[in-house]
Chains A and B, each alone.
Chain A
């Protein structure tokens, strides 16, 4: 196995690509004050639709579009329940998670373990020849490039555009938003759906690129929960959230390497291990950030003030 540094980093970039997309999607949603807890199910469902549509239409583009639309639709349903009808967003998210996952297994079972299309790597001409960085950054499939691009786009959108500002105000104080002539409900619903679209793309990134194929389980189960944890412990800042996503990619990759190096230890342990490790790493960072010093303050930040709270005009 090739374990040179550039190929290791490149593998992390691939491993983490769907997680980056999903976590950024959830960051957008939560910045607007909505918790979309349905991530895990949404990813599985959109992975299934992406795979099925792509293999039946033999078009990868259609596959990705279908997955994105699936994510958007689930988020829309969550927004209807959690924003428009003022029901508990947490409850809606949980229910949708399980509904989506089982729906994916039910609808996708005829397509399980079938051959399907797969996104090819597309090295960027010239750039991929740059030593080190060429391998790490410019020798991937389109969805990995998309995950790279999504990071600056998301930051630019949130902090340097009018709509990004509106989105943040809706999460911070919907009453203030309303007083400025903007309907926070609309902002929240659109933000939730946009975030859901990114989550949908993450699903397709699994079934059409990172872990190609469909089955029960697909292999993307659990990632949604990690994405949710990343947003909270990355204190709602896209950069910190993304850093966590790459850390998790690395843990998963290390699991695969160690699996080969320690044949006596059952492989299943290595597949499961990154999840508790990640969550407890995040919890440790969180605990240490209670003590104020310069390094840990980097990781601390406050949630949007009205996160998870409904707004209703009287």
Chain B
């Protein structure tokens, strides 16, 4: 009975917090829209219409959900280890580059599934390598991972531009619209009427399950958590904080790279400059809004994906900029910080 009551309390608290955050964020955005003379309901309808009212639209939402979820899973590792992995964008790009390096060569007459699997494995390594670079800069040079990651983002951006405009340029003329398409047989299977490959969807779900398992139910997860909580103490428990941090960066980068590989292999079927589309930064917001916990991540990713997909219609339907989705997402995270802070303050002063 006692546990039931405390469980009730717990849910009540979590739910109350969630409602508070949503009310604050949506209230602020509504107020902004009203001052601009736009009815918030119109926006809500337009976004819902563009995201969940038809399977075709919703499958588009899912295609955004996949990379977002993968990057968020990666960030769960790095946040647990106490690291701000801001280099996710670069890791996505490197994953995409690694996958493209293989896929653009054709299938060599081998089964496409094998080539695709290999390409995705490569993308994991590509992203992981980029993540490890930031980790090594921190361990060896004492360079804060925020700035190491940022620098590597810029480098990755330069690298992808150079590849697309130089060595991998489209037959005939180099173009910002990307490389040549991969051969048709290397497109991941997408049923007619779908905008998302079922295999990619399964892969994302499996990755989330694996992340939850590794972080929640293994000694490795406990080690990562300990490192993040107190790297100084970690050594006393025979934990190598640097090595653990590096492992977290490599896994985080690998998952981001996987997201990039999937973008190239089953969304665009080519490499193009904006392949990372800001998923890396958006994933940071997702995990912050989840308050660094694992369970809420898929739902928040779905919410953010709906906003992103739904807002694409805004310029056409309402002549409004699609950046509104970013405003709502950002407002959610800022309100979450405000609400959590106020709760802490309230508790502290009791």
* Chains A and B directly touch (beta carbon < 8 Å): yes
Interface residues of A (CB under 8 A from B): 37, 77, 80-81, 84-88, 90-92, 94-96, 98-107, 109, 216, 222, 225, 228-229, 232, 266, 268-269, 272-273, 275-276, 279-280, 282-283, 286-287, 290, 312
- Complexed CA–CA distance, A64 and B155 (Å): 34
- Complexed CA–CA distance, A266 and B338 (Å): 45
A102 touches B345 (CB 8 A): no
**Chain A residues near B137 (CB, 8 Å)?**
283
- The distance from the CB of B5 to the nearest CB of chain A, in whole angstroms, is 30
B237-286 at interface with A (beta carbon < 8 Å):
273, 281-282, 284-285
B161 touches A99 (CB 8 A): no
CB-CB under 8 A for A95 and B337, given A86-B344, A268-B161, A276-B154: yes
- Complexed CA–CA distance, A312 and B344 (Å): 12
Residue in A80, A102, A266 with the greatest tally of chain B CB atoms within 10 Å: A102
Q: Among A222, A273, A286, point to the contact of B143 (Cβ < 8 A).
A: A286
A98 touches B330 (CB 8 A): yes
**Chain A residues near B154 (CB, 8 Å)?**
222, 272, 275-276, 279
B165-182 at interface with A (beta carbon < 8 Å):
165-166, 174, 176
- Complexed CA–CA distance, A275 and B153 (Å): 10
A-B contact pairs, 6 of them (CB 8 A): A84-B341, A99-B333, A229-B147, A272-B157, A279-B147, A279-B151
Q: Among A87, A90, A99, A104, point to the contact of B341 (Cβ < 8 A).
A: A87
**Chain A residues near B151 (CB, 8 Å)?**
275-276, 279-280, 283
B326 touches A283 (CB 8 A): no
Q: Among B144, B162, B174, B344, point to the contact of A232 (Cβ < 8 A).
A: B144
- The distance from the CB of A117 to the nearest CB of chain B, in whole angstroms, is 23
Residue of A nearest to B342 (CB): A85
A85 touches B344 (CB 8 A): yes
- The B interface, classified by DSSP as helix, strand, loop or mixed, is helix
A-B contact count (CB 8 A): 136
Q: Among B288, B320, B327, point to the contact of A102 (Cβ < 8 A).
A: B327
Per the CB 8 Å criterion, the residue count for chain B at the interface is 50
A266 touches B337 (CB 8 A): no
B294-326 at interface with A (beta carbon < 8 Å):
320-321, 323-326
A99-B330, A105-B326 are known; give 7 further A-B pairs, CB within 8 A: A85-B344, A86-B344, A94-B84, A100-B330, A232-B144, A276-B154, A286-B143
CB-CB under 8 A for A95 and B333, given A81-B341, A85-B338: yes
- The A interface, classified by DSSP as helix, strand, loop or mixed, is helix
- The distance from the CB of A90 to the nearest CB of chain B, in whole angstroms, is 6
- Complexed CA–CA distance, A98 and B161 (Å): 24
Q: Among A77, A103, A312, point to the contact of B327 (Cβ < 8 A).
A: A103
Cβ of B64 under 8 Å from chain A: no
Cβ of B121 under 8 Å from chain A: no
Residue of A nearest to B291 (CB): A91
- Complexed CA–CA distance, A280 and B273 (Å): 22
The 7 closest A-B pairs by CB, nearest first: A99-B330, A85-B341, A102-B326, A279-B151, A109-B321, A105-B323, A95-B333
CB-CB under 8 A for A96 and B150, given A109-B320, A276-B155: no
CB-CB under 8 A for A266 and B165, given A98-B281, A283-B151: yes
**Chain B residues near A103 (CB, 8 Å)?**
323, 326-327, 330
Residue of B nearest to A37 (CB): B146
B135-163 at interface with A (beta carbon < 8 Å):
137, 141-144, 146-148, 150-152, 154-155, 157-158, 161-162
B165 touches A279 (CB 8 A): no
A287 touches B147 (CB 8 A): no
A96 touches B330 (CB 8 A): yes
Residue of B nearest to A101 (CB): B326
CB-CB under 8 A for A98 and B329, given A279-B154, A280-B151: yes
Q: Among B86, B147, B157, B344, point to the contact of A283 (Cβ < 8 A).
A: B147
Cβ of B334 under 8 Å from chain A: yes
- The distance from the CB of A95 to the nearest CB of chain B, in whole angstroms, is 4
Cβ of B340 under 8 Å from chain A: yes
**Chain A residues near B155 (CB, 8 Å)?**
276
B327 touches A283 (CB 8 A): no
- The distance from the CB of A211 to the nearest CB of chain B, in whole angstroms, is 19
Interface residues of B (CB under 8 A from A): 36, 84, 86, 137, 141-144, 146-148, 150-152, 154-155, 157-158, 161-162, 165-166, 174, 176, 273, 281-282, 284-285, 288, 320-321, 323-327, 329-331, 333-334, 337-338, 340-342, 344-345, 348
**Chain B residues near A222 (CB, 8 Å)?**
154
- The distance from the CB of B213 to the nearest CB of chain A, in whole angstroms, is 26
**Chain B residues near A98 (CB, 8 Å)?**
281-282, 285, 326, 329-330, 333
- Complexed CA–CA distance, A96 and B285 (Å): 10
B324 touches A106 (CB 8 A): yes
**Chain A residues near B144 (CB, 8 Å)?**
232
A232 touches B147 (CB 8 A): yes
- The distance from the CB of B314 to the nearest CB of chain A, in whole angstroms, is 9
B341 touches A94 (CB 8 A): no
B141 touches A85 (CB 8 A): no
B334 touches A95 (CB 8 A): yes
**Chain A residues near B166 (CB, 8 Å)?**
266
**Chain A residues near B84 (CB, 8 Å)?**
90, 94
A102 touches B165 (CB 8 A): no
A283 touches B141 (CB 8 A): yes
- Complexed CA–CA distance, A109 and B320 (Å): 8
Residue of A nearest to B314 (CB): A106
Residue of A nearest to B343 (CB): A85
Q: Among B284, B327, B331, point to the contact of A94 (Cβ < 8 A).
A: B284
- Complexed CA–CA distance, A90 and B85 (Å): 12
- Complexed CA–CA distance, A203 and B341 (Å): 29
Q: Among A95, A104, A286, point to the contact of B288 (Cβ < 8 A).
A: A95
- Complexed CA–CA distance, A81 and B288 (Å): 14
**Chain B residues near A95 (CB, 8 Å)?**
285, 288, 330, 333-334, 337
CB-CB under 8 A for A269 and B344, given A81-B334, A92-B337, A95-B330: no
